[in-house]
Amino acid sequence: MDSCNVKIPSMIDLTAENITANTIAVNSQGPDERLRYLMERLVTHLHGFARETQLTTEEWVKAVVFLRDAGQISSDTRQEFILLSDVLGLSTLVESVNNPRPTNATESSVLGPFHTKNAHFTENGDSIASPNKGESCLVRCTLKDTSGNPIPDATIDVWEADDTGRYDSQYEGDVGPDCRGVLKSNKDGEFWFKCVKPVSYPIPHDGPVGKLLGVLGRHPFRPAHLHFKIEREGFDSLITALYLRGDPYETSDAVFGVKSSLLVTPRKIQDPEIAKRYSVSVDDWDIHWDFVLVGEAEGRQLRQERSLAGPGNTGCAAETAQPLPE
């Protein structure tokens, strides 16, 4: 951009009384209506926070250093800013706002910082985990639309931690993808695979986000869970997780991801015929789940209705444009 062609509103003698309006004005010159709207609301609330709390210079410096440290510790395999978003409840809020669901559809949950794009394709019935990664677990699932029709040929991305509570990306060196895989649903909307029984684990807490949790008196643990990302043309994508019922952290998830509708109870396989059919052993763990996807048109309508309703039904009483700029 040629700075000579940028028309900047006259700004001089800026004070606590006029800095917000002037910042909004200078940020409102671009052609993207949605970006202008987002920046206007961000500056309004950010400046409002500083005024409301009478933010001190020392506190501002600490916040800047915190963000600097979060950036420095981040890498291709460690996403400290996603962790920050998670522990502040922002990830769950954004997920909820953007994924309204009818009551018979599977609820979404947080993506988390450990999803990767290097998982290998896994045939139905194969294991996503290498040997000795934990207790063997069979997962059997169906995939249907909100009318009960099976959804074939969907892509299902699955990932989890091993029995030490670590994801493959947390190990030093290039260990390759493990405890993760990509499957396809069959003509009947079914998919199944072997994995390890999920365990609870702490999110990375040796960095600035962990230190923040410590000073807030919060623990860093997540309850045992198994991640799913399901995609199929004509349907809204679904990012969700199944959480093991009865986990000690079920009601205190550090990233606010647990929903009652996503709680599952693993059971031991007792039927030799089932064990034989799926090439597992009697007394292996078994999880069974029915996923329901929302069609694109239905999902679009739900989001439009929420947009027209404004933020009031999401716990915020602030005024806003109706409908929101897109």
- Classify residue 288 as exposed, middle or buried by CB count within 10 Å of its CB (0-12, 13-18, 19+): middle
- Farthest-apart Cα atoms in the chain, separation: 81
Q: Could you give the C-alpha distances from 118 to 75, 79, 153, 159, 178, in angstroms and in order? A: 16, 16, 20, 11, 10
- HSE of 47, CA atoms in CB hemisphere, 13 A: 16
Residue 309 is predicted with a pLDDT of: 75
Report how far Cα 179 is from the mean position of its chain's Cα atoms. 18
Quick check: bond before 323 cis, omega within 30? yes
Residues in CB range of 144: below 8 A, 6 or more apart? 150, 151, 189, 290, 291, 292, 293
The enclosing H or E element of 87 equals helix 80-87
What's the topology of domain 90-299? Protocatechuate 3,4-Dioxygenase, subunit A (2.60.130)
Give me the residue spans of the domains in the chain: 1-55, 90-299
Q: Which long-range contacts (CB under 8 A, 24 or more apart) does 7-12 make?
A: none
Torsion angles phi and psi, residue 250, rounded to 5: -55, -40
Contact 229, 239 (CB under 8 A): yes
Residue 129, number of CB atoms within 10 A of its CB: 21
For the whole model, what pTM was predicted? Answer: 0.89
203: nearest Cα among 76, 78, 75, 106: 78
Beta bridge partners of 141: 191, 289
Contact 205, 220 (CB under 8 A): yes
179: nearest Cα among 119, 234, 219: 119
pLDDT in tens, the chain (326 residues): 555 566 777 788 999 999 999 999 999 999 999 999 999 999 999 999 999 999 999 999 999 999 999 999 999 888 999 999 999 999 999 999 999 999 999 999 999 999 999 999 999 999 999 999 999 999 999 999 999 999 999 999 999 999 999 999 999 887 789 999 999 999 999 999 999 999 999 999 999 999 999 999 999 999 999 999 999 999 999 999 999 999 999 999 999 999 999 999 999 999 999 999 999 999 999 999 999 999 999 999 998 888 777 665 444 444 444 566 66
267: nearest Cα among 247, 291, 244, 242: 244
Residues in CB range of 12: below 8 A, 6 or more apart? none
Which residue type occupies 19?
Answer: I
Residue 34 is predicted with a pLDDT of: 95
Residue 173 is predicted with a pLDDT of: 81
**In whole angstroms, what is the distance from residue 296 CA to residue 238 CA?**
11
Q: What is the dihedral of CA 304, 113, 185, 278, to 10 degrees?
A: -140
Q: Could you give the C-alpha distances from 282 to 127, 162, 229, 273, in angstroms and in order? A: 17, 21, 29, 9
Angle between helical axes of 90-98 and 80-87 (0-180°, round to 10): 80
Residues in CB range of 112: below 8 A, 6 or more apart? 82, 86, 227, 241, 255, 257
Residue 323 is predicted with a pLDDT of: 61
Contact 110, 159 (CB under 8 A): no
Give, rounded to a whole angstrom, the gap between the first and last alpha carbons of the chain.
Answer: 24
